[in-house]
Amino acid sequence: MSYELRRRLWAALLILGFFAAWEILCLVLQVSDLVLPRPTQVFATLAARFGILWPHVMQTLWTTMIGFVLGVTVGVVIGAAIGVSRTAYDTVYPLLIGFSSIPKVAVVPIFVLWFGSGATPAILTALAMCFFPIVVNIATGLATTEPELEDVLKSLGASKLDILWNVGLPRTMPFFFASLKIAVTFAFVGSVLSETVASNKGIGNVMMTASSNFDVPLVFAGLFLLAALGILLYVAFSLVEAHVTGWATRRQGFASA
Amino acid sequence: MSRSEALPQGHPSISPAIAPAIAVELSQAAVSFGKPGKTVAALQETNLRIAEGEFVALVGPSGCGKSTILRLTAGLLNPTRGAVIVGGREVGAKALRIGMAFQNPTMLPWLTIERNVMLPLKIVRPFRSDYRAKRRTEFRDRVHALLADVGLDKFANHYPWQLSGGMLQRANLCRALIHEPSLLLLDEPFGALDQFTREELWGTMQSLWLTRKPTVLLITHDLKEAGFLASRICVMSARPGRIIDDSAVVFPRPRTVEMTFDADFVALNQRLRDLIIDARSDTAIQGA
């Protein structure tokens, strides 16, 4: 356990050191807070304006989460179809690659054109950003089922659905949760992106407004909030992952526990 | 149509009243792969009859179509020509009570050994409808009894990665037998194990067979293994395969590893070895 403790201590020290170095360098080199505010200024701004910032945090959070949930749903359905059927793979995959290689900034104006500014384009951009890694991971998980095991089950008279339910989907879980962690941060990027382009709410919008007012500490306060939210969502899904797919990480004493 | 009518003519010596029922019958079954006009023959017209309760080993050079015969029997593959009859009816989409085990034990890593072995009961009729109700009672006891037979009762709640290769293969045999199949298909199940573990598992396999008497079709590269386990050995020629020798193994049971050093046993091995070497060199000449 002492190793674990030391590792955490070092991680915490690195973060603290990063902020300390930033603070000291800004003071020594006398950097204007119009260019790069010191961390203490950013935290002060955060504390002072938290009441105003909070609704925007919630706005970004819920658009992200709705976009994420929709993205996961779409991703799982497409991924399962592609992973099970060779024909679906061959027909759908080229289109998907094409779609995923479009920079999503370019899609936001189209969403705004169709649905107006606000929450809808934010949700859709989050969806568009996050579904692809899920499709790829689910499809990979399903495609790596051992052919011998499939033969064993088929000879027992198992239907395709039986195999998918008992073997395919559980096998996909580690891939799925690994992709959830990535997808949730992508969804976050998507909704903030949309907010910076077309919205009057959300952290992205706050940052855009603040930068046009040269309120640089507030821009950085927004950045810190985004980082904090991103870490929070990542940690949440890591915990779920460890709980659901512990079998994939061969920890000592896992089975006897 | 009765079963005797389904069988091909020409076996007057076997009277249905005395002879044991036929579990597996391949009649003129042939398999070729590829597009029409550019086909590759995997199996030549093959005739093979396995009586109920027989233990048949299939040996031959690699790539000769042994696994093709196994897949035909399991109903995983349809013959290009001829017929495959298992349990008195033609193999098709219908579910049969078959147990299968391969060289790769393919235990599911997220399930305990107990649940892995129980998997067929979740899928095969009539067990599947009772699975939810009985998985913690009757089915569990059944799995534990079978695991005890192969010496794995203490490992029921372990996960596959905690077991050695030999133990996993024992669990694999249990999974193939838990639903009491009348036909057991084994594709080199002991091929990846070390010599001593393999010999140990021969003993386990033999006692499982002696107590349950399923019909077994075993594919193996190991002639000693074939001689130890089988009541009949079929030798196949090189690809495209056909059966070139079919002989009974008469050594008394239970057989022991010591018996494999007897002169009779060694002579059998020698004969099988010569047959396979001949089959191999035939293709080498054809290919040259």
Cβ burial A168-198 (10 Å sphere, 16+ → b, else e) = bbbbbbbbbbbbbbbbbbbbbbbbbbbbbbb
The pLDDT value given to residue B19: 60
The pLDDT value given to residue B92: 62
The pLDDT value given to residue B281: 76
Range of the domain at A167: 36-248
The pLDDT value given to residue B243: 86
The pLDDT value given to residue B1: 38
Residues of B with CB under 8 A from a CB of A: 71, 74-76, 94-96, 98, 100-102, 104, 106, 108-110, 112, 119-120, 122-125, 157-159, 161-162, 175-176, 179, 185
Residue A51, domain member (yes or no):
yes
The total number of residues shown for chain A amounts to 257
More confident site: B11 or A107? A107
What tens digit of pLDDT does each residue of A196-233 get? 888 888 999 999 999 999 999 999 999 999 999 888 88
Is A148 in Cβ contact with B102 (below 8 Å)?
Answer: yes
What tens digit of pLDDT does each residue of B210-253 get? 998 899 999 998 999 999 999 999 998 877 778 888 989 988 88
The CA distance from B43 to the nearest CA of chain A, in Å, is 20
Compare all CA atoms of chain A with the CA of B93 and give the residue at the minimum distance.
A157
* pLDDT > 70: percent of chain B: 89
What value does the mean pLDDT take over residues A35-57? 91
Claim to verify: residue A181 and residue A88 sit in the same structural domain: yes
- The residue ranges of DSSP E strands in chain B, in sequence order, are 22-33, 40-51, 55-59, 81-86, 89-90, 98-102, 183-187, 215-219, 232-236, 243-248
Q: How many CA atoms lie within 13 A of B209 on its CB side?
A: 26
Claim to verify: residue A183 and residue A242 sit in the same structural domain: yes
List the single residue in A148, A167, A255 with the smallest CB-CB distance to B104.
A148
What tens digit of pLDDT does each residue of B58-116 get? 998 887 788 888 888 888 888 888 888 887 777 764 556 789 898 888 898 889 999 99
Compare all CA atoms of chain B with the CA of A250 and give the residue at the minimum distance.
B161
Contacts of B159 in chain A (CB under 8 A): 247, 254-255
What tens digit of pLDDT does each residue of B271-288 get? 999 988 888 776 655 544
CB atoms within 10 A of CB A116: 11
Beta bridge partners of B86: B24, B89
Is A247 in Cβ contact with B158 (below 8 Å)?
Answer: no
Sign of CA dihedral B78, B94, B105, A86: positive
Claim to verify: residue A2 and residue A124 sit in the same structural domain: no
The residues, ordered by sequence, that sit 6+ positions from A80 with a Cβ below 8 Å of its Cβ are A138, A139, A142, A164
Over 60: is that where the pLDDT of B6 sits? no
Q: What span, in angstroms and rounded, lies between the C-alpha atoms of A92 and A84? A: 13
Residue A90, domain member (yes or no):
yes
Claim to verify: residue A26 and residue A128 sit in the same structural domain: no
Claim to verify: residue A163 and residue A76 sit in the same structural domain: yes
Poorest-confidence range of A21-25, A86-90, A187-191, B183-187?
A86-90
What tens digit of pLDDT does each residue of A150-169 get? 888 888 878 888 888 888 88
Q: Domain count of chain A?
A: 2
Closest CA to A134 of A64, A190, A186: A186
**Residue from B67, B103, B108 whose CB has the most chain A CBs within 10 Å, to mutate:** B108
Claim to verify: residue A59 and residue A20 sit in the same structural domain: no
Claim to verify: residue A242 and residue A155 sit in the same structural domain: yes
Claim to verify: residue A52 and residue A147 sit in the same structural domain: yes
What is the widest separation between alpha-carbon atoms in chain A?
76
The pLDDT value given to residue A1: 59
- DSSP label at A165? I
Over 50: is that where the pLDDT of B8 sits? no
The pLDDT value given to residue A20: 95
Structure tokens at A145: 């089922």
Q: What span, in angstroms and rounded, lies between the C-alpha atoms of A248 and B110? A: 7
Residue A65, domain member (yes or no):
yes
The residues, ordered by sequence, that sit 6+ positions from B213 with a Cβ below 8 Å of its Cβ are B53
The CA distance from A187 to the nearest CA of chain B, in Å, is 30
Is A255 in Cβ contact with B106 (below 8 Å)?
Answer: no
Residue A157, domain member (yes or no):
yes
Strands B89-90 and B81-86: antiparallel
The pLDDT value given to residue A3: 81
Claim to verify: residue A43 and residue A25 sit in the same structural domain: no
Residues of A with CB under 8 A from a CB of B: 146, 148-149, 151-158, 162, 166-167, 170-171, 173, 245, 247-248, 250, 254-255
The pLDDT value given to residue A249: 65
Claim to verify: residue A8 and residue A84 sit in the same structural domain: no
The pLDDT value given to residue B14: 44
The residues, ordered by sequence, that sit 6+ positions from A79 with a Cβ below 8 Å of its Cβ are A134, A135, A136, A137, A138, A139, A142
- The residue ranges of DSSP E strands in B13-123, in sequence order, are 22-33, 40-51, 55-59, 81-86, 89-90, 98-102
Claim to verify: residue A165 and residue A123 sit in the same structural domain: yes
Beta bridge partners of B158: none
Average of per-residue pLDDT values in chain B: 83
Claim to verify: residue A126 and residue A221 sit in the same structural domain: yes
What tens digit of pLDDT does each residue of B186-207 get? 999 998 888 888 898 899 899 9
Side chain identity at A185, as an amino acid letter?
Answer: T
